[in-house]
């Protein structure tokens, strides 16, 4: 079956010019009535509270790493702590308008993203939902620790659960969100839509792309956000992922009812630095990061630079971009400008930037600016803000003491990882939907029925290679079986469709499967494999093809 796209020489040789759409830059303007209508007065104040949670949590880690104590509680944390102090508004503004069905994938600097996403989910869920999640997670073990910390109601208990689960994980404790095996750079909590982060710079982009592909192929709700830093834009896997998500075929060859491009938002927390290399004026040439969207598709990825110092600006942009993605018109690129006051890590002396520059950004500290906005608009007072910060500190002191108690909160036993490396389970199908496949009069199936499944015939004579059942045939039948039983099963890679793969394993599947279950991808191995990982993480079964690799 040949593709239905005709490349007309008369069209591609026609003279003309390439034009690009305008890319908005910091276009948000505050309107009190509009924002109150969106979030309510309580919601606007809640954004500030969530920002204070992130700032206090990371300041605690910073103090522990630098001085060995926080608020009089001593602890020697030997693990990493890549902090984003100063970036709280960007984290909270994004997550505040995401739902638990929306997934985020982050980087090595993602404590704030995790907390913001978990708090956002907590705000949106009722008490019954929260209780069910906490009781069901790790058999209620993490919850049992959260209950040891004072709380007033279910929401307050959920705060204990989030703060303790994250901190215990960072400190490699068995009661942490991931049994202490993820640590600072890999913490996640799936029930709230916080998916694993990645210490490989830019590594989350292709994985997030796979999760978005899962949502598109299997018609699941929500979008997926890839959160990486501005320096990650130099990494090949990031470009591969953006190109993969931009493929024309999602709208030119896939059926309209299959929904268009994967719903992925490539968000860059642009703090203008890698570790010490300055992306603005030194290691990059884009001047404004959002400009690069024009390289990927005619819509320039709906790219936009957003003032990440204002959480309302980030929330507004995220809401608008989410609508684009839900309509299948993605992917989307956001250049969210922000700034980290903290170094790359606590040992970083920031020798690569001037004291004057840091002081300029401290003058527009997102928490100070947003606090002033709320106070000036009569939505809170400085006394209320200080009171919340003090109560949060009291809670975190209790969380910290419990999380570092070696007797109460031990680490996993040696060899524990061996018990969780594999599930040792067999899953026939990851969804109960009806698999879409058409095997009527399939030429490959008919041909295989006539092949000899032995090296010799009945008389003992060798069977010719043309008549013999081959290794590729076995692979084909195994995949065909799974395509028939598991509706989530999808395959993509280099020359899968039409060509049938480099070794003809897929021959015959083009006639049997819609594009959303079998399609060609760019020659981009990092994106092909990364998408397979993300697809599986999100709950699907994928087979990816790397041609001759």
Q: What is the pLDDT, as a whole number, of residue 345? A: 74
Q: Give the per-residue pLDDT at 497.
A: 92
pLDDT recorded at residue 4: 77
Q: Please report where in the chains the tokens 């030429």 appear, as a residue.
A: 443
Tokens of residue 223, six digits: 């979008």
Amino acid 221: pLDDT: 97
Averaged pLDDT for residues 487-504: 92
Matching residue, tokens 């902090």: 83
Instruction: Please classify residue 170 by burial: count the beta carbons closer than 10 Å to its beta carbon, then call 0-12 exposed, 13-18 middle and 19+ buried.
Output: buried
53 pLDDT band (50/70/90 cuts)? very high
**What pLDDT digit, counting tens, does each position of 306-355 carry?**
999 999 999 999 999 999 999 999 999 999 999 998 877 777 777 888 89
pLDDT of res. 2:
55
What average pLDDT does the segment 528-539 reach? 98
C-alpha–C-alpha distance, residues 120 and 93, integer Å? 10
Is CATH 3.40.50.970 what the domain over 32-410 is classified as, yes or no? Answer: yes
Among candidate residues 217, 212, 215, 209, the one with its CA nearest the CA of residue 436: 217
Strands (E) in 216-346, as ranges, are 224-229, 264-270, 304-307, 332-337
pLDDT at 187 over 60: yes
pLDDT at residue 547 is higher than 80:
no
3-state class of 29 per DSSP?
Answer: coil
- Answer yes or no: is pLDDT of 482 > 60: yes
* Lowest-pLDDT choice from 5-9, 271-275, 344-348, 505-509: 344-348
pTM: 0.95
With cut-offs at 50, 70 and 90, classify the pLDDT of residue 380: very high
Average pLDDT for residues 296-311, to the nearest whole number?
A: 98
**Quick one: what percent of the chain has pLDDT higher than 90?**
83
Q: Do 342 and 275 form a contact (C-beta atoms < 8 A)?
A: no
Which CATH fold would you assign to the domain 443-545? Rossmann fold (3.40.50)
pLDDT band at 441 (very low <50, low <70, confident <90, very high): confident
Q: Report pLDDT for 74.
A: 96
Q: Please, where in the chain does CATH 3.40.50.970 lie?
A: 32-410, 443-545
pLDDT at 184 over 90: no
Mean pLDDT of the chain: 94
Query: Do β-strands 73-74 and 103-105 pair in parallel, antiparallel, or remain unpaired?
Result: unpaired
Residue 3, pLDDT score: 62
Tracing tokens 């190109």 back to the chain, one arrives at 243
pLDDT tops 70 at residue 88: yes
Average pLDDT over residues 200-216: 96
Tokens of 215: 């949502």
Residue 5, judged by CB atoms within 10 A of its CB (0-12, 13-18, 19+), counts as exposed
Q: What is the mean pLDDT of residues 194-222?
A: 95
pLDDT for 193 beyond 90: yes
Torsion on CA atoms 506, 510, 512, 518, rounded to nearest 10: 80
What digits encode the pLDDT tens for the residues 94-134?
A: 999 999 999 999 988 899 999 999 999 999 999 999 999 99
Residue-wise pLDDT tens digits, 390-431: 999 999 999 999 999 999 999 999 999 999 889 889 999 999
pLDDT exceeds 60 at position 549: no
């Amino acid at each position: 079956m040949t593709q239905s796209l005709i490349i007309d020489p008369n069209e591609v040789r026609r003279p003309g010019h390439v034009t690009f759409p305008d890319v908005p830059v910091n276009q948000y303007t505050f309107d009190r009535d509009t924002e109150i209508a969106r979030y309510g007065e309580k919601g606007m104040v809640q954004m500030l509270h969530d920002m204070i949670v992130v700032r206090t949590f990371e300041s605690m880690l910073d103090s522990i790493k630098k001085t060995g104590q926080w608020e009089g509680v001593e602890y020697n944390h030997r693990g990493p702590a890549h902090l984003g102090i100063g970036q709280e508004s960007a984290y909270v503004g994004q997550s505040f308008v995401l739902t638990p069905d929306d997934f985020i994938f982050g980087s090595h600097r993602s404590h704030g993203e995790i907390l913001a996403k978990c708090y956002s989910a907590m705000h949106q869920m009722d008490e019954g939902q929260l209780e069910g999640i906490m009781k069901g997670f790790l058999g209620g073990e993490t919850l049992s620790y959260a209950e040891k910390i004072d709380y007033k109601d279910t929401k307050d208990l959920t705060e204990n659960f989030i703060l303790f689960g994250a901190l215990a994980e960072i400190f490699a404790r068995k009661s942490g969100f991931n049994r202490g095996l993820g640590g600072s750079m890999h913490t996640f909590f799936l029930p709230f839509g916080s998916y694993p982060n990645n210490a490989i710079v830019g590594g989350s982009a292709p994985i997030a792309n796979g999760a978005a592909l899962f949502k598109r192929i299997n018609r699941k709700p929500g979008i997926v956000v890839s959160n990486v830093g501005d320096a990650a834009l130099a990494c090949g896997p990031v470009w591969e992922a953006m190109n993969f998500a931009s493929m024309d075929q999602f709208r030119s060859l896939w059926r309209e009812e299959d929904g268009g491009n994967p719903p992925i938002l490539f968000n860059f927390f642009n703090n203008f630095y890698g570790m010490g290399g300055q992306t603005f004026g030194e290691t990059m040439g884009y001047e404004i990061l959002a400009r690069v969207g024009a390289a990927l598709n005619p819509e320039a990825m709906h790219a936009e630079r957003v003032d990440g110092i204002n959480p309302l600006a980030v929330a507004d942009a995220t809401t608008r971009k989410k609508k684009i993605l839900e309509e299948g018109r993605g992917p989307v690129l956001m250049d969210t400008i922000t700034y980290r006051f903290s170094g790359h890590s606590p040992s970083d002396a920031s020798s690569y930037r001037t004291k004057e520059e840091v002081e300029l950004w401290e003058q527009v500290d997102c928490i100070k600016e947003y606090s002033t906005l709320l106070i000036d608009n009569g939505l809170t007072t400085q006394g209320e803000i200080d009171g919340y910060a003090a109560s949060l500190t009291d809670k975190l002191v209790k969380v910290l003491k419990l999380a570092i108690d070696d007797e109460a909160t031990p680490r996993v036993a040696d060899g524990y990882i061996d018990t969780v490396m594999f599930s040792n389970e067999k899953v026939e199908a990851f969804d109960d939907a009806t698999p879409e496949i058409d095997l009527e009069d399939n030429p490959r199936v008919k041909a295989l029925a006539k092949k000899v499944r032995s090296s010799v015939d009945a008389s003992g004579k060798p069977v010719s290679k043309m008549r013999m059942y081959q290794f590729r045939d076995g692979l084909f039948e195994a995949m065909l079986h799974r395509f028939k039983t598991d509706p989530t099963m999808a395959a993509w890679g280099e020359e899968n469709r039409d060509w049938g793969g480099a070794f003809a394993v897929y021959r015959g599947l083009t006639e049997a499967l819609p594009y959303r279950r079998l399609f060609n991808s760019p020659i981009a191995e990092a994106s092909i494999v990364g998408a397979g990982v993300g697809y599986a993480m999100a709950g699907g079964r994928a087979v990816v093809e790397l041609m001759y690799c």
